[in-house]
Amino acid sequence: MVASVKKQSLIEIYLINFNYKDIMTIHLLPTLASIANIIDMINPRLNLHHVRTAFIASHLANLVGFSAAQRRKTILAALVHDVGGLNEKSRLEPLNYIDNEHNNHALIGSELLSRIPLFRPLNRIVRYHHTRWRNGLGHYIEGERVPEESHLLFFADRLDVLYCQHRTDHSAFLRNKLIDIVAAGTNILYKQEFIQAFRKLSADDRFWSVMASSDYRDYINAIPGVHNDTLSLHNLRDIAELVSFIIDQFSQQTPWHSAAVGHIAGYLATKIEMSATQTLKVEIGGLLHNISCLDHSPQSKRVNAAGNVLNTLYPIEGIDDISEWMAIQQCTAPLQLSQEILKPEAVLIAVSRRVVHALNGPKAEEKSLAQLIKNNPGDEIPPFMLALIAQYSSQIIQVYRATAGEIKALVNRIAQLAHSV
């Protein structure tokens, strides 16, 4: 690992201490579960919704005879099925048992997932995950076949909504109540075989034991068959791009703030000759640096919102260092980047935040960046980094403009989809 440093230039640090492993293993399921759990922090009513839905769907998929590939896609889609809910109202509306079948979050989620190669096989499942069965008519919508996985995901999603509404009931009473409610929707809302599968699943005490847990890891550990799937660091970067967009819909920053921080941090990392692995990690850290803004739990329970969120990321193998760099960004006191004992990656992310804040200002980008370089408020930015920013200022502005342009286009596309439903 890179040693902690004080009063050294970044280039000196890397020449002397650089010794990172470029080979790493990132497991898919716990990674998606951790991120889903963080996204669910925007409202206490959403707590653990994605991971519980994935847990329910995984067992139902087994019982109805889904193939291994179908089951895998159903589980992964369950972990991201409400990713298109880009405001609190859109996320909370589906918590009504009889939901709005045409809620635009499914369409928007499908659009977002289609932009990520890893998630493209899931986008149609998410697109139709609120489609009712209607005695088989729900098998097609406007001539397009609805995936079987969508119908099962809808059923699992509704079961979790019901569970949250009635979980204070005695367990035996709860089982019967849920069965009675969903059975009333046989063939209208759900396929009959799904309800039969739930009758069988509800007789398993182990299922209810997991459902009572408040630890998202218990749900993931109880999902067999997907744990050997791994992500590349490029896959994780793509996921971080998606999450950064969600972050900025709930933050008080511009819609492209986190993406710009990540892209500029990654660009600067290449200019001090970081390895490809570390460059990707720095970019991921920049993309996710403001993730704690998703924690909208009551103020009384938010003593350390940043710590709560970052602790959720720590279990993801291979990114504990990224979590550490992100944690440093949450410091409420101004960071004296030349003086503090900091990892160089954390310095890069912090400097990129300052650059983006300057570029987001009312002045033209060139003037804003020149003013930052000249004034360097509080002498926060190390001289070496100031020189680097000055040397590549035009390229940094190009990265910023390209990022802002891409996000603006995506925001416009989502606005079109929101009004098309």
Gap between the Cα atoms of 161 and 97, Å rounded: 6
The residues, any chain, with a CB within 8 Å of residue 370's CB and separated by 6 or more, are 393
Q: Band of the pLDDT at 281, cuts 50, 70, 90? A: very high
Gap between the Cα atoms of 29 and 221, Å rounded: 9
Same domain, 128 and 240: no
Same domain, 168 and 255: no
For every residue of 59-89, DSSP letters joined together read: HHHHHTT--HHHHHHHHHHHHHTTTT--SHH
CB distance 217 to 315 below 8 Å: yes
Residues 357-380 have a mean pLDDT of: 86
Tell me phi and psi for residue 186, to 5 degrees: -55, 130
Please check whether residue 106 lies inside any domain of the structure.
yes
Please check whether residue 183 lies inside any domain of the structure.
yes
Same domain, 90 and 129: yes
Of 213, 243, 274, which closes a domain? 213
Write the burial class of residue 68 (CB in 10 Å: 0-12 exposed, 13-18 middle, 19+ buried). exposed
Of 213, 246, 279, which closes a domain? 213
Q: What is the pLDDT of residues 80-118, one digit of tens each?
A: 999 999 888 888 888 888 876 667 899 999 999 999 999
Q: CATH number of the domain that 169 lies in?
A: 1.10.3210.10
Same domain, 158 and 301: no
As a whole number of Å, the CA-based R_g of the chain is 23
Residues 355-363 have a mean pLDDT of: 89
Same domain, 248 and 328: yes
Check whether 42 has a pLDDT greater than 90: no
The tokens for 322 are 């990224």
Residue 27: strand pairing partners = 230
Please check whether residue 54 lies inside any domain of the structure.
yes
- Residue of 107, 322, 100 whose CA lies nearest to 233: 322
Cα dihedral value 46, 105, 312, 221, nearest 10: 80
Q: Cβ–Cβ contacts within 10 Å for residue 27, how many?
A: 19
**Average pLDDT over the chain, rounded to an integer:** 86
Please check whether residue 349 lies inside any domain of the structure.
yes
Q: State what percent of residues in the chain have pLDDT above 70.
A: 86
CB distance 31 to 236 below 8 Å: yes
Check whether 363 has a pLDDT greater than 70: yes
Structural domain containing residue 385: 10-23+232-418
CA atoms within 13 A on the CB side of 275: 13
Residues 359-373 have a mean pLDDT of: 89
Same domain, 244 and 195: no
User: Model pTM?
Assistant: 0.88
Same domain, 19 and 59: no
- Residue of 368, 392, 410 whose CA lies nearest to 266: 392
Q: Band of the pLDDT at 139, cuts 50, 70, 90? A: very high
The residues, any chain, with a CB within 8 Å of residue 157's CB and separated by 6 or more, are 53, 78, 81, 94, 129, 130
Gap between the Cα atoms of 38 and 271, Å rounded: 32
Return the DSSP state at 254: -
- What is the structure's pLDDT at 364? 84
Residues 38-50 have a mean pLDDT of: 88
- Residue of 262, 69, 76, 242 whose CA lies nearest to 156: 76
Gap between the Cα atoms of 55 and 173, Å rounded: 21
Gap between the Cα atoms of 128 and 237, Å rounded: 26
Return the DSSP state at 48: T
Q: CATH number of the domain that 242 lies in?
A: 1.10.3210
- The count of domains in the chain is 2
- How many angstroms separate the most distant Cα atoms in the chain? 70
Amino acid at position 97, single letter: Y
- What is the structure's pLDDT at 15? 38
Per the document, the length of the chain is 421
Same domain, 163 and 272: no
Please check whether residue 205 lies inside any domain of the structure.
yes
Gap between the Cα atoms of 421 and 102, Å rounded: 6
Helix (H, G, I), strand (E, B) or coil at 5: strand
Same domain, 185 and 238: no
Q: What is the pLDDT of residues 230-272, one digit of tens each?
A: 899 999 999 999 999 999 999 889 999 999 999 999 999 999 9
Of 178, 213, 248, which closes a domain? 213
- What is the structure's pLDDT at 181? 96
Helix (H, G, I), strand (E, B) or coil at 231: strand
Please check whether residue 37 lies inside any domain of the structure.
no
- What is the structure's pLDDT at 413? 95
Gap between the Cα atoms of 108 and 94, Å rounded: 14
Same domain, 248 and 286: yes
Gap between the Cα atoms of 331 and 339, Å rounded: 15
- What is the structure's pLDDT at 6? 38
Check whether 292 has a pLDDT greater than 90: no
- Residue of 235, 30, 25, 284 whose CA lies nearest to 119: 235
Please check whether residue 73 lies inside any domain of the structure.
yes
For every residue of 119-145, DSSP letters joined together read: GGGGHHHHHTTT---GGGGGGEETTEE
Same domain, 203 and 277: no
- Residue of 113, 106, 97 whose CA lies nearest to 131: 106
Please check whether residue 295 lies inside any domain of the structure.
yes
Same domain, 313 and 190: no
Residue with more model confidence, 324 or 214: 214
